[in-house]
Amino acid sequence: MSNPGQAGGVSPERVRAAADALRASCCLVVLTGAGVSKESGIPTFRDALDGLWAQYDPALLATPRGFRRDPRLVWDWYQYRRTLIAQAQPNPGHLAIAALERHLPRVVVITQNIDGLHVQAGSSDVLPVHGDIRLNKCFANCQGDPTLVDISALEWDAEAGPPRCPHCGAYVRPAVVWFEETLPPDASDRAFALARAADVMLVVGTSGVVQPVASLPFLAHEHGATIIEINPSRTPITRLADWFLDGPAGVVLPQVVAALAEEGEGGHA
Ligand code: BJW
């Protein structure tokens, strides 16, 4: 009955089948990645390493070791991305995910995105497991993890790199999770518990290669959840998917929510 990985766009039947699976859900977990924000004009993580930044190794831009080596380069990359994110608005994909709460008893969004757009779109239970680019913390976490620092209250020479922690003088860095860092334990524990409890997991716009988040759909599947994936490209998750809807989130998700709403109003033809 499923057709994971079929090419050629999303048929109304597949949209309806996904809506039917969602409608039966008591505990929906939506797992999102950078693809859901692409239609808001925010490059995906891999896209963000194109253009001006193509010459740099992600291991040097998104690791503690990269920050130690060249704090100014890393800070400038984040400042560039902060500018893009500050101008962005939620797109129809974010809004459709928020709208799911009007049709289903429980919806939790686990997001790898650091842009805050799910909350801005109106989703009420969002777990941002990779942090928040709008926040900063002390690189040494001198007052405990995380030691958040309000940089708007600091004066520093922006040409010279990141500001310094007012408590200990260490550099300030974005409050995000870099490669080789562990996720905040509370967020990680909750994400794994949700994956075990989900009866449906809707996976949107992630390449499914970055651990530990990439393992969540596998865990949900092992615990009996129906997996629905929305992505224009196949990923390592696609082979698990009961329903693979191959298209952009901002197009496909509103179709799914519209089908869900129609069903809720007396069934589909
Ligand atoms: C659309 C679309 C549209 C496009 N609609 N879809 C070997 C050595 C060292 C470490 C490791 C290793 N092997 C494994 C590891 C662990 C490592 C890891 O997984 N590495 C892999 C790359 C192999 N993981 C970690 O290090 C994690 N920590 C950890 O494991 O701790 C234990 C440990 C400790 C010490 C040493 C080793 C392990 C932490 C991972 C943190 C990831 N952080 C980042 C940066 C966050 C801040 C920032 O943004 O700058 O998080 S990396 C980056 O990847 C970012 C993203 O959240 C994350 C996932 O990316 P995502 O969201 O999937 O985006 P893309 O760009 O990959 O994909 C976009 C998708 O959208 C594509 O599929 C498109 O098709 C799709 N798309 N348009 C819908 N319109």
Active-site residue set: 130
Measured distance CA(252)–CA(242) in Å, rounded: 16
For ligand 1, the distance from its centroid to the CA atom of residue 204, given in whole angstroms, is: 14
Q: Is the peptide bond before 43 cis (omega within 30 degrees of 0)?
A: no
- Domains located in the chain, CATH noted: 1-42+88-130+183-269 (3.40.50.1220), 47-86+133-176 (3.30.1600.10)
Model confidence over 203-232: pLDDT tens digits?
999 999 999 999 999 999 999 999 999 999
Mean pLDDT in residue range 58-74: 92
- Band (269; pLDDT cuts 50, 70, 90): very low
The response to whether residue 248 sits with its C-beta less than 6 Å from ligand 1 reads: yes
Beta bridge partners of 176: 131
User: Among the atoms of ligand 1, which is closest to the Cα of residue 39?
Assistant: 80
Give the model confidence (pLDDT) of 37-46 as tens digits: 999 999 888 7
Spatial separation of the C-alpha atoms in residues 211 and 172, rounded to whole Å: 25
Answer whether 217 contacts ligand 1 (Cβ < 6 A).
no
* Separation of CA 209 and ligand 1 centre (Å): 6
Residue range 136-140: mean pLDDT, rounded:
98
Amino acid at 95: L
Q: 136 — phi, psi (to 5°)? A: -130, 155
Identify whether the C-beta of residue 112 lies closer than 8 Å to the C-beta of residue 130: yes
The pTM of the full predicted model, rounded to 2 decimals, is: 0.94
Which amino acid residue places its CA nearest to atom 40 of ligand 1? Answer: 179
β-strand pairing of 243-245 with 226-230? parallel
Among residues 230, 236, 238, which one has the least CA distance to residue 205? 230
Which residue has the CA at smallest separation from atom 75 of ligand 1? Answer: 233
Q: How far is the CA of 210 from the centre of ligand 1 (A)?
A: 3
| 221: CB partners within 8 A, 6+ apart | 201, 227, 240
Q: Is the CB of 207 under 6 A from ligand 1?
A: yes
